[in-house]
């Protein structure tokens, strides 16, 4: 049995920027502290929500170093080091491991669109090169390919591959992965709207966008489930479902940055080619946020 790298709510942290598009480290620290004080179980730094793809090498490394230092071991820090270039992925993964990250999040190689045997070679090459737990990340809507249950089964046999963040939205796939891999492979929801179904299938929690905005609620949702209070957990999921969906009215992290800005956290504009949220999108998002008393 593989012990999960974390159990519960893991916030996929945004990366805040200043007005002149530099990383706002003081605000980054404030947001990290807010998450920890709200009870989250882990933090992912420089993932999709953290706009890793538009951070240069120095910014990427500086974000990881800052977060690891700020968290100071209070919760696990998972570093987003995935890439469509296996050599570069290996370099960044080794850097994060040496810097003190507790684990690595590796997205499927985007654009290249390799085969399933290529995925196996890619992930095993990285897993052989570091001595840290790895969470795979399947999000076909952004990368153009997913991970099949049979590929998951093969990868689950490597001791450094701890599990996956499944963001395909395919509950049948998650069910088959749980059947094939059992407790030798952990599954986390990559969709805030599917936390409860994933937990019901034996999942270990969520890597969440929603918890940037509502960290306590997402953390409580998972904690209640594991405490056996499944009705209360499900009620919380149902109540927050509208906001979970609203945060994807436009490409992530456009809406979550708009939400945090409206809440008084000036996190800045997403980096191009992403832009500010449309006025129509903000109107819909803010209406949902008002229902939750997040903004006046």
Residues with catalytic function: 137, 165
CA dihedral 234, 290, 139, 126 (to 10 degrees): -90
- Tokens 């009705």 belong to 231
Tell me how far apart the alpha carbons of residues 92 and 81 are, in angstroms, rounded to a whole number: 6
Tell me how far apart the alpha carbons of residues 189 and 174 are, in angstroms, rounded to a whole number: 9
Q: How many other C-beta atoms are found inside a 10 Å radius of the C-beta of residue 53?
A: 17
């Amino acid at each position: 049995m593989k012990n999960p790298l974390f159990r519960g709510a893991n916030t996929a942290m945004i990366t805040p920027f200043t007005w002149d598009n530099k990383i706002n480290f003081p605000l980054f620290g404030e947001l990290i502290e807010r998450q920890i004080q709200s009870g989250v179980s882990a933090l992912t730094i420089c993932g999709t929500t953290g706009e890793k793809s538009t951070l240069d090498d120095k910014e990427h490394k500086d974000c990881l170093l800052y977060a690891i230092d700020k968290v100071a071991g209070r919760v696990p820090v998972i570093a987003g080091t995935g890439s469509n270039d296996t050599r570069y992925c290996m370099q960044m993964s080794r850097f994060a491991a040496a810097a003190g990250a507790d684990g690595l999040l590796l997205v499927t190689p985007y654009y290249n669109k390799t085969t399933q045997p290529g995925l196996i070679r890619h992930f095993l090459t990285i897993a052989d090169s570091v001595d840290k737990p790895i969470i795979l990340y399947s999000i076909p809507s952004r990368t153009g390919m997913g991970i099949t249950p049979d590929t998951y089964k093969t990868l689950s046999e490597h001791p450094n591959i701890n599990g996956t963040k499944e963001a395909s939205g395919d509950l049948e796939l998650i069910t088959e992965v749980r059947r094939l891999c059992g407790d030798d492979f952990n599954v986390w929801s990559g969709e805030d709207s599917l936390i409860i179904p994933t937990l019901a299938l034996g999942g270990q929690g969520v890597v969440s966008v929603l918890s940037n905005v509502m960290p306590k609620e997402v953390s409580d949702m998972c904690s209640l489930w594991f405490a056996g209070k499944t009705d209360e957990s499900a009620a919380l999921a149902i109540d927050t479902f509208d906001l979970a969906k609203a945060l994807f009215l436009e490409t992530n992290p456009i809406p979550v940055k708009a939400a945090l800005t409206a809440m008084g956290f000036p996190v800045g504009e997403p980096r191009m080619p992403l832009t500010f949220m449309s006025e129509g999108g903000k109107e819909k998002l803010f209406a949902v946020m008002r229902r939750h008393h997040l903004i006046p």
